[in-house]
A and B are shown apart, each in its own frame.
Chain A
Amino acid sequence: MQNAVGEVQHVVVFGGTSEIGVAIARRLVTPATRVVALACRDVAAGEEIAGTFPDHVRVEVVPFDAGDTASHERVVAEVVERGGDIDVAVLAFGVLGRQHELDTDPVAAAEVVHVNFTGAVSVGLAVAGRLRAQGHGRLVVLSSVAGERVRGALPVYGGSKAGLDGFAQGLGDALHGSGASVLVVRPGFVRSKMTDGLPEAPLATTPEAVADVVADGLRRGRRTVWAPPTLRYVFAVLRHLPGPVFRRLPLG
């Protein structure tokens, strides 16, 4: 249960080894925090990250595969069983894929969409059901600017994020009045495992900076945040550029 000044007791990260997800969890830890749950594929990696949290926080590592939708209700139930009411749930898993490989491998492309979109819909609904029953709690969804206007260089990843973004907004509306809510996060280029070795795009940022933006958005009760925040204005323009101009932009 969140206290009167918005300090949370229980945070869960789905994709618990994500650099952005872990940075958000770390940022939300206060003396009032009891439990951080890391729901991840790689339990050993999760255990390692667990050791880096402050002593007063109990870290629960829970096995979770975003692609295994049949297990999602059970995973959420296990998180609740171990840590009680969820104050903040972060959906941080995702795969970028190598577009030039995906171009010729529709099965691999479908797998990217399955994790980024289908998996997020499935676990997102399982979490939302729980938050609705609790009557409180926030779902933080890591969307991406890549989904705001999908580029020719990243159609599969971008398309999956566009779908996810739309789903998350709709879910936020569906939860209206329940006490629970959704925060959609649209980062630009973030230096993490996912982008390791890729050329940096303009306005590149860090997982910690994204975490600051998320914490601020939660405190202010926002429904959408951009990281860095100026991207909101950049995309207000980009969204409306004519196709021929958009295609020629050096967006990384």
Chain B
Amino acid sequence: MGELVEVTAADAAHAVREAGERGVIARGLGRSYGDAAQNAGGRVVRLRDATGGIRLDPDTATATVGAGLDLDQLLRVIVPQGFFVPVSPGTRFVTVGGAIASDIHGKNHHVDGSFGRHVRRMSLLLADGRVVETSPDVDAELFWATVGGMGLTGVVLDATISLIPVETSRIAVETRRIGDLDTMLALMSEGDHRFRYSVAWLDLTATGAALGRGVLTWGEHATVDQLDDRSAADPLAYAPRQLVNVPPVVPRPGLLNRASVTAFNELWYRRAPAHRVDQIQTIPAYFHPLDAVGSWNRLYGHRGFVQYQFLLPFGAEATLRDVVQRLVDAGATSFLTVLKRFGAANPAPLSFPRPGWTLSLDLPAGASTLRDRVHDLDRIVLDAGGRHYLTKDALTTPECIRRGYPRLDEWMAVRDRVDPHGRWQSDLARRLGLTRGGTDAERSG
């Protein structure tokens, strides 16, 4: 267990200096599924958010914010002013610091890249207590080591990010129900470039010829003339609400079991139109459907679930099909399985996205058969030139990360330059051997 300390940007340096030999790590809202923002035996610092501190510059379409600010708060301020965040993950409840440290991606990756690409500058608290400015032009090496660096280069205190100017707060959506995986991959390859947003949901309960069937949604920020009269009267209206909370008492081992997940997936698939264009959706409905069900993860029961997200490069479609087949065979009861086609990578050595396909699924943590198979999947993914997403990792090993991220040593060299004594530590870093001076098994041997 780690000791959690809430700090302002001004007293962060003090909290870091006071940390003991087990070191310190920054935490945002803890939405990374694994142990990235945990530090057993050590200290965890959380930046108190500074809602009042949002400085929006409409002329350059940028916002300068404290890194503890979350995207929910940011959207409430910028959407009514005609701007949108450059990258939105599947939940609004992530901080800007967390978005940078994980170099998060959204449905627009194939067009806009990941979060780091939209960071103009940031200030970073270093292990020795100094605060430095970095940007793609100022100590670019440190900048890109921090993007995707899982908090292990320092604490991001504030950042200036580019925004997307929008006419309305709505998304024009095109939905297609696709009967099998090959058709899905083909359609995404041909059609994605025509849309800013694209993502597919896969039904992992379908078998045989319907293997990998799913629903593909493409989206664009709607223009005013696409809205009906009532909406057009206030085109930038933005009022997200959290709709339902899963009751805290869920019958164990959770509402979700193979039967209910199958039923849900079938329903979801059937509910989707075979083909529908120009449906107008709100930002929360399109980008953050899970946020409407507060604490939805409780559905999996008290042991919760683990996320498994990997990437396979273009050309490895046969492997992708093989992995999907294996997941189906293993009876993976994944509630939400998401397929996304990535565009170009950025210069960050530990950034997850690169050209290829990424599949993310959630697996109940209690299922031991699945657990055993996941290690086989790891190998298949790596043999095909793929990798795993650090922020969601819960299961992989130091070798998997070394193989998946061939530039790990380059990143470590920068890390060691700014943190020679290994002050930044996390459970993830220990488990995967990401830091020197830590106590992980791999690097001390």
- Are A and B subunits of one complex? yes
What is the CA–CA distance of A81 and B34 in the complex, to the nearest angstrom? 26
Please determine whether B35 and A179 come into contact, CB atoms closer than 8 angstroms.
no
In the bound complex, do residue A9 and residue B371 qualify as a contact, i.e. CB atoms below 8 Å apart? no
Q: A135-B1, A136-B1 are in contact. Are A34 and B442 (CB under 8 A)?
A: yes
Chain A: which residue is nearest B444 at the CB level?
A: A84
One digit per residue, 1 when the CB lies within 8 angstroms of any chain B CB and 0 when it does not, for chain A 7-38 equals 10110000000000000000000111011000
Alpha-carbon distance between A179 and B42 when the two chains are bound, in angstroms: 11
Please report which residues of chain B, range 28-61, place their CB below 8 angstroms from some CB of chain A when the two chains form the complex. Answer: 33-35, 39-42
Stretch at the interface among B85-93, B284-292, B345-353, B394-402: B394-402
In the complex, whether B279 has a CB less than 8 A from a CB of chain A is no
Return the CB mask of B403-445 against A: 1 if under 8 Å, else 0. 0000000000000000000000001001100000011111011
B40 touches A1 (CB 8 A): yes
A251 in the interface, Cβ–Cβ < 8 Å?
Answer: no
Counting contact residues on chain B (CB < 8 A from A), the size range is: 20 to 34
Is A4 among interface residues, defined by CB-CB distance under 8 A?
yes
| B430 to chain A: closest residue by CB | A1
| Set B42, B431, B444: member contacting A1, Cβ < 8 A | B431
Question: Which residues of B sit under 8 angstroms from A84, Cβ to Cβ?
Answer: 430, 438-442, 444
Q: Return chain B residues, CB-CB under 8 Å to A228.
A: none
Find B40's partner among A58, A134, A177 (CB 8 Å cutoff): A134
- Given A32-B395, A82-B444, A134-B41, A1 contacting B306 (CB threshold 8 A): no
**Bound CA span A84–B438, Å:** 8
Does B375 belong to the interface (CB within 8 Å)? yes
- A71 contacts partner chain B, Cβ-Cβ < 8 Å: no
- Taken together as a complex, chains A and B put the C-alpha atoms of A4 and B394 apart, in Å, by 5
Which of B306, B398, B427, B438 neighbours the largest number of chain A CB atoms within 10 Å of its CB? B427
**A196-210: contact bitstring with B at CB < 8 Å (1 yes, 0 no)?**
000000000000000
Picked from B41, B306, B444, the residue with its CB within 8 Å of the CB of A83 is B444
Contacting B306 at CB < 8 Å: which of A5, A10, A58, A135? Answer: A5
The answer to whether B441 and A83 have CB atoms under 8 Å apart is: yes
Tell me whether B326 is interfacial, beta carbon within 8 Å: no
Whether A85 pairs with B375 at a CB distance below 8 angstroms is no
Q: Determine if A3 is an interface residue (Cβ-Cβ < 8 Å).
A: yes
- Pair B430/A135 contact, Cβ less than 8 Å: no
* B22 proximity list for chain A (CB < 8 A): 133-135
For the complex formed, measure the closest distance between the CB of B103 and the CB atoms of chain A, giving whole angstroms: 21
One of A9, A177, A178 near B431 (C-beta < 8 A): A9
B394 / chain A contacts, CB cutoff of 8 Å: 3-5
- Of chain A, the residue at the smallest CB distance from B20 is A133
Least distance between A138 CB and chain B CB atoms (Å): 13
Q: How many residues of A contact B (CB 8 A)?
A: 27
> Cα distance A191–B410 when bound, in Å?
53
With CB as the reference atom, state the residue of chain A lying closest to B399: A56
Bound-state Cα–Cα, A179 to B439, Å: 17
Asked whether, in the complex, the Cβ of B440 is within 8 Å of the Cβ of A1, the reply is yes
B2 (CB) vs chain A CBs: closest residue: A135
Contact present for B441 and A81 (CB under 8 Å): no
Residue numbers in A under 8 Å from B33 (CB-CB)? 4
Q: In the docked arrangement, what's the CA distance between A5 and B375, Å?
A: 12
Please, how many angstroms separate the alpha-carbon atoms of A136 and B22 in the complex?
Answer: 12
Q: Which of A33-68 contact B (CB under 8 A)?
A: 34-35, 58
> A80 on the interface (CB 8 Å rule)?
yes
Check if B188 is an interface residue, CB within 8 A of chain A.
Answer: no
Please measure, in the bound complex, the distance between the C-alpha atom of A202 and the C-alpha atom of B42, giving whole angstroms.
48
Closest chain A residue to B3 by CB distance? A135
B5 near A: Cβ within 8 Å? no
Q: Chain B's nearest CB lies how many Å from the CB of A53?
A: 14
Residues of A within 8 A of B444 (CB): 81-84
Q: Once the chains are docked, how many angstroms separate the CA of A135 from the CA of B441?
A: 17
Asked if A135 and B397 sit within 8 Å, CB to CB, the answer is no
Bound-state CA distance A135–B2 (Å) is: 7
Does B395 contact A1, Cβ atoms closer than 8 Å?
A: no
The answer to whether B1 touches A179 (Cβ under 8 A) is yes
Could you tell me the distance between the alpha carbons of A133 and B439 in the complex, rounded to whole angstroms? 12
Complex Cα spacing A179 to B38, Å: 12
With A178-B1, A179-B40 given, is the CB distance from A1 to B442 under 8 Å? no
Q: B397 and A32: CB pair below 8 A?
A: yes
Name the distance in Å between A178's Cβ and chain B's nearest Cβ.
7
Complex interface: chain A residues within 8 A of B431 (CB): 1, 3, 9
How far, in whole Å, are A204 and B365 apart by their CA atoms in the complex? 34
Contact status A83-B445, CB under 8 Å: yes
B1 with A10: CB separation less than 8 A? no
Minimal Cβ-Cβ distance residue in A for B363? A5
Minimum distance in angstroms from B388 CB to a CB of chain A: 12
Q: Which of B41, B42, B430, B440 has the most CB of A within 10 A?
A: B41
Question: Which of chain A's residues has its CB closest to B33's CB?
Answer: A4
Query: How close is B440's CB to chain A, nearest CB, in angstroms?
Result: 5
Chain A residues near B40 (CB-CB < 8 A): 1, 85, 134-136, 179
Cβ distance A180 to chain B, nearest Cβ, rounded Å: 9
In the complex, chain B residues whose CB is within 8 Å of the CB of A35: 441, 445
Which among A10, A30, A34 is the interface contact of B398 at CB below 8 angstroms?
A34
A4 to B39, CA, bound (A): 14
**Docked complex Cα distance between A30 and B371 (Å):** 10
Most A Cβ at <10 Å: residue of B39, B438, B441, B444: B441
- Inter-chain contact A133/B41, CB cutoff 8 Å: yes
Residue of A nearest to B378 (CB): A31
Q: How far is B1's CA from A135's CA once the two chains are assembled, in angstroms? A: 5
**In the A-B complex, the 3 residue pairs with the closest CB atoms:** A4-B394, A135-B41, A135-B40
27 of the cross-chain contacts (CB-CB < 8 Å) are A1-B35, A1-B40, A1-B431, A3-B394, A3-B395, A4-B33, A4-B395, A5-B365, A5-B395, A30-B375, A32-B375, A34-B397, A58-B441, A80-B439, A84-B441, A84-B442, A84-B444, A85-B40, A85-B440, A133-B41, A134-B22, A135-B2, A135-B39, A135-B40, A136-B1, A177-B1, A179-B1
With A3-B395, A58-B445, A85-B430 known, 5 other A-B pairs at CB within 8 A are A7-B395, A134-B40, A135-B2, A135-B40, A179-B1
- Chain A residues in the interface with B (C-beta under 8 A): 1, 3-5, 7, 9-10, 30-32, 34-35, 58, 80-85, 132-136, 177-179
